[in-house]
Amino acid sequence: MVSDSELKVVVLGLGYIGLPTAAVIARTGARVLGIDVHQNVVDTINSGKVHIEEVDLDGLVSGVVARGTLTASIQIAPADVFVIAVPTPFGDDHQPNIGYVLRAATSLAAVLKAGDTVILESTSPVGTTEKVRDLLAELRPDLKAPGRGEAGDYALAYCPERVLPGRILVELIDNDRVIGGITPRCARKALSFYRRFVRGACVTTNARAAEMTKLTENAFRDVNIAFANELSLVADTMGVDVWEVIRLANRHPRVNILQPGPGVGGHCIAVDPWFLVAADPENTPLIRTAREVNDGKTEHVIARAAALIEETAGPVACLGLAFKANIDDFRESPALKVAAGLARGFGARIRVVEPYANALPHEFDGTGATLVDLDTAIETCSTMIVLVDHDLFRSVPVDERAGKAVLDTRGIWPDQPRDGRVAPALRLAG
Ligand code: SAJ
């Protein structure tokens, strides 16, 4: 086996998954070349800095760049292992777009040689790895493609990333990995690569099963969050505290309900279930409905918050823009959608608190809304809309919230007084 320091790895795509992955592999001593289409990303990394926020990533990247085990480029080069970690978005019609994956495969085809291993990590519709194989076969007829009746000259596998933003560097090492080979031999070859840096179990299967496993994991979470969000609407109608109900129901040994919120954000759970729906629309009513319930929750929160704001006077604090707690990622964020929607309706009355932002995103342009710190919001706003469960917001004690009207979509303040007259505070399910 090639020693760590002799192993050459190319990681295509230096985003939220590609960069941490490249850095973790570079830490083993392997020589890693990270490829990105954006020159500014390449320059940032080569200067030892990072263009994305992730716990401990800056220190790791500056270390491996200084050691010379990680470099970045827009130009591909030969390697032993190629890891594709590019985005797979969907279009307006919810159809997956694997264009970036195919472009990455096209670029590595130029330098592919016998003995190499190619691994796709991007969340992908079932059958994508086979499409990559067919593309490589077409571009490189001089090399035998795997899975076409004979042993291939190179290995090709699908191994989905499964890391949670905010815990990426830990989960890259500790999580189990599912490795789906185009052939069992391809899976074993990819397995020997992951064993170099993964402490979790590495389980092998075929490429299609691995592709569907990834989509299944995120659809499972989406469906379960939709259940919690639907419950929150029912509880609101009934005048019951949904978090109390969930806490009590979860005392049953076989019940484990997730948490309601203002909707589902991020670039994975709100996207991936559509890949299953697009593949088999007739047989996916539950998965599609869950998506609609979660998106509908955001609209519901906007309407609920608008009604509350209309009943009150003075500035209104919207707490949080991130798509979930304690991160700076605003992609597909329901909190951002709610706050921006309210800013469009109520203009300068809206004061946004987001400890992870230096300025309001462009969605607020021209609305008159402002970004303020938490203390200013507490001092000046008699109405508060909780949209993200950042630790900073959780820590606001009950006496600082006294007398305020509160719409808490995350259930972070169970002690919020309910006496609507003395302290006009509401704890609504959102
Ligand atoms: N959310 C709720 N209620 C909950 C849990 C989450 O409303 O009980 C919301 C969050 O606030 C957020 C959204 O769901 O808006 C998604 O957050 P998340 O923490 O559930 O997931 P992500 O998108 O950060 O990461 C997911 C993870 N998948 C699963 O847990 C099955 C992660 O392991 C994947 O690697 C990642 O998607 C991905 O890249 O696919």
**Per residue in 11-67, pLDDT tens?**
999 999 999 999 999 999 999 999 999 999 999 999 999 999 899 999 999 999 999
Residue 34, classed as helix, strand or coil, is strand
Q: Where a domain ends, among 168, 200, 232?
A: 200
Catalytic site residue 268? yes
- The 10 Å Cβ neighbour count of residue 245 is 17
CATH number for position 277: 3.40.50.720
Q: 0.85 exceeded by the pTM?
A: yes
Place of tokens 């704890």: 427
3 within a domain of the structure (yes/no) = no
**Which atom number of ligand 1 is nearest to the Cα of residue 263?**
7
- For residues 245 and 339, state if they share a domain: yes
Q: How open is the CA angle 385-358-378, to the nearest 5 degrees?
A: 35
Q: How many domains does the chain have?
A: 2
- For residues 292 and 188, state if they share a domain: no
228 within a domain of the structure (yes/no) = no
Q: pLDDT tens digits, residue range 360-406? A: 999 999 999 999 999 999 999 999 999 999 999 999 999 999 889 89
- For residues 274 and 340, state if they share a domain: yes
258 CA to centre of own chain: 17
Write out the DSSP string of 348-364: GGEEEE-TT-SS--GGG
- Could you say which DSSP state residue 115 is in? T
Task: Tell me which of 54, 88, 159, 264 to substitute to probe ligand 1's pocket, judged by most ligand atoms within 8 Å of the beta carbon.
Answer: 264
Catalytic site residue 214? yes
**Which atom number of ligand 1 is nearest to the Cα of residue 294?**
7
- What type of residue sits at position 424? P
- Domain span at residue 68 reads 8-200
What average pLDDT does the segment 291-317 reach? 95
Which of 159, 189, 202, 214 is catalytic? The answer is 214
Residue 137 in tokens: 């076969």
Cα separation values, 5 from 11, 22, 176, 270, Å: 16, 14, 25, 39
Mean pLDDT score across all residues of the chain: 94
- For residues 277 and 147, state if they share a domain: no
pLDDT value at position 236? 86
Q: pLDDT tens digits, residue range 195-204? A: 999 999 999 9
232 within a domain of the structure (yes/no) = no
Closest CA to ligand 1's atom 35: 162
pLDDT of 87 strictly over 90 = yes
Cα separation, 276 vs 49, whole angstroms: 37
